[in-house]
Amino acid sequence: MASQNVDVLIIGAGPTGLGAAKRLHQLKHTNFLIVDAAAEAGGLPLRTPPPRASFLIHVIFSHYLYFDDVINEALPKPDDWYEHERVSYVRSKNTWVPYPYQNNITMLPVEDQVKCIEGMIDAAEVRARAADKPKNFDEWIVRMMGTGLADIFMRPYNFKVWATPTTEMQCEWLGERVAAPSLKLVVSNVLNKKTAGNWGPNATFRFPARDGTGGIWKAVAKTLPQERFSFNKTVVRIEGTKKIAHLSDGSSVGYRSLISTMPLDEAVEIIDDAENLRPTSRELIYSSTHVIGVGVRGVLPPRIGDKCWLYFPEDDSPFYRATVFSNYSPYNCPQAEVKIKTIQTADPSLSGSVDTTSERPGPYWSLMLEVSQSSQKPVDEENLLADCMKGMISTGLLKAEDEIVSTYHRKFHHGYPTPSLVRDGQLKVLLPELKNKYSIWSRGRFGSYKYEVANQDHSFMVGVEATDNILFGANELTLDSPDYVNGRANTERRL
């Protein structure tokens, strides 16, 4: 017998779990419980380092007015937010190429411009003759962009991101995420020596003034009844047919419906009678993500300027992306009057030339790096921070003599859910079986393993729509129709 019983049990107090809870609360449905392993709500966006500097991965842009309503209710004041225009570049051929790369090859050496344009011409001819769709991501790249752009940027960069070869990934997930180049625009820009402007759903974005991305979700959680949360507990076992979840503190919760935001592969492992699903769930592909943070003493240098995030396709650095987080909010770093010791120079061999014993004032700025890892792309974890320091020097992010006042390294075992060639077939087996047999809605970035709807706004709305499906049988539009929700403004639903 369970220690308590609820109508809806939610595993995880991240964006998806909070979306489900917010919708339940809005509908005045009170018999639900949210269980989370952490001490407070927030999920992955809350997994912050020590307070020397803030290194958080996510920014806010939205496809949904409902989502906007919720975060505006949670952080309602104008000074709760900073709004930014994305300033993004690719480090390539020892220069900074504006994003999107494929529209700005005018920045490349002439011989590479020629390779890219010839490839795009060939690709246009292939598209005109093609009667079938590309079989994988690599074929999509070559067909849309040509071999020049594929070899110089798209193949190496995407391998650094996904830790999976592009030949082993599907292309249905792409939607609005990758810009297909306009041959006319590219040629015009090359001849006129121009660069193209911003593109994409996050060409502008918001960032909270204080507490990083996790602060958004802590604020959202505060709009919910606090007695509905149960923290510092994990779900260790689920009796699927009996609908009982057993928690790490020895208690248990009976439920009518369960919304799980655990990684799908891990959830299947703890369901007592789901042995038939484990061969499929164990074959789901994902990569791990290492987040590296560096706090730097000094004025933000002109070489960094107003940049937001930067891409690195080449092998002179282990990281695929760097974010200048001190540009997102002045509160992402300690204020200039705060005194901190220097722990080393970027090149540690020069550390003897600076004062590393006394606390001194700033100003300060910060960088956050991301490094992927998989069985196909191993990482020297023990030396990764040092390797990233070398990469930041070689790519011009840091000078060898720059003073480092803080560092941070955390590995997220489940980093990216990979849209593999077989993923959709796996999900068609796993998700309906969990729902229909065990009343488990596995949802969220890794709960449903759909990267194309894994941003914060998507993840939140997946939780909202799971609740509506449980209560009313409503369609789960975000989960089932990613291209539809990504291709339009979803204005019908409001808070």
pLDDT in the model for residue 213? 82
Place of tokens 């722990």: 343
pLDDT in the model for residue 308? 86
Number of domains in the chain: 3
pLDDT in the model for residue 306? 87
Tell me how many degrees the CA angle 292-293-296 measures, rounded to the nearest 5: 140
Would you give the DSSP letter of residue 316?
T
In this structure, are 356 and 387 located in the same domain?
yes
Burial state string for 467-476 with b = 16 or more CB within 10 A and e = fewer than 16: bbbbeeeeeb
The CA-atom distances, in angstroms, between 10 and each of 6, 101, 133, 267, 456 are 10, 41, 39, 13, 17
Place of tokens 């009976």: 254
CATH at residue 376: 3.90.660.20
For residue range 231-244, what is the model confidence (pLDDT) as tens digits?
999 999 999 999 99
Domain boundary (417, 436, 455) is at: 417
In this structure, are 447 and 397 located in the same domain?
no
Question: How many alpha carbons lie under 13 Å from residue 443 in its C-beta half-sphere?
Answer: 36
What residues contact 154, with CB distance under 8 A and at least 6 apart? 102, 141, 145, 166
CA dihedral (93, 348, 319, 97) positive or negative: negative
Tell me whether residue 270 is in a domain.
yes
Q: Provide the 3-class DSSP secondary structure of residue 187.
A: helix
Domain boundary (417, 435, 469) is at: 417
Q: How far apart are the first and last CA of the chain?
A: 37
Contact 126, 150 (CB under 8 A): no
CATH at residue 456: 3.50.50.60
Tell me whether residue 236 is in a domain.
yes
What's the rounded Cα separation, in Å, for the pair 165 and 168?
6
Q: Provide the 3-class DSSP secondary structure of residue 170.
A: coil
Q: Provide the 3-class DSSP secondary structure of residue 434.
A: helix
In this structure, are 406 and 291 located in the same domain?
yes
Contact 23, 464 (CB under 8 A): yes
pTM over 0.95: no
Tell me whether residue 133 is in a domain.
yes
Tell me whether residue 339 is in a domain.
yes
In this structure, are 370 and 429 located in the same domain?
no
pLDDT in the model for residue 62? 76
Q: Which two tokens stand for residue 123?
A: 């690709």
In this structure, are 340 and 378 located in the same domain?
yes
The CA-atom distances, in angstroms, between 429 and each of 23, 419, 422, 459 are 27, 16, 11, 21
In this structure, are 239 and 161 located in the same domain?
no
Question: H helices of 27-135, where?
Answer: 65-74, 110-129
pLDDT in the model for residue 207? 85
In this structure, are 293 and 392 located in the same domain?
yes
Nearest-CA neighbor of 289 among 398, 381, 367, 217? 381
In this structure, are 165 and 231 located in the same domain?
no
Nearest-CA neighbor of 231 among 488, 11, 489? 11
pLDDT in the model for residue 55? 43
In this structure, are 303 and 290 located in the same domain?
yes
Tell me whether residue 70 is in a domain.
no
pLDDT in the model for residue 54? 42
For residue range 357-375, what is the model confidence (pLDDT) as tens digits?
999 999 999 999 999 999 9
Nearest-CA neighbor of 453 among 419, 420, 429? 419
Domain containing 148 equals 101-192
* Average pLDDT taken over every residue of the chain: 91
Q: For residue 363, say if its preceding peptide bond is cis, omega within 30 degrees of 0.
A: yes
In this structure, are 249 and 393 located in the same domain?
no
Place of tokens 């894994």: 454
What's the rounded Cα separation, in Å, for the pair 39 and 221?
13
Tell me whether residue 395 is in a domain.
yes
Domain boundary (128, 159, 192) is at: 192
Burial state string for 144-180 with b = 16 or more CB within 10 A and e = fewer than 16: bbbbbbbbbbbbbbbbbbbbbebebbbbbbbeeebbb
Tell me whether residue 160 is in a domain.
yes
Tell me whether residue 342 is in a domain.
yes
What's the rounded Cα separation, in Å, for the pair 282 and 269?
9
In this structure, are 107 and 185 located in the same domain?
yes
What residues contact 169, with CB distance under 8 A and at least 6 apart? 136, 137, 138, 158, 162, 418, 419, 420, 421
Encoded amino acid at 79, one letter: D
In this structure, are 413 and 424 located in the same domain?
no
Tell me how many degrees the CA angle 366-179-103 measures, rounded to the nearest 5: 80
What are the 10-residue block averages of pLDDT along the chain, 495 residues in total? 93 97 96 96 60 48 87 91 84 92 91 95 90 93 94 97 97 70 83 72 75 88 97 96 97 98 98 96 98 96 89 97 91 94 97 95 96 97 97 97 96 96 97 98 97 93 98 96 80 68
Strand segments (E) across 181-222: 204-208
What's the rounded Cα separation, in Å, for the pair 449 and 418?
8
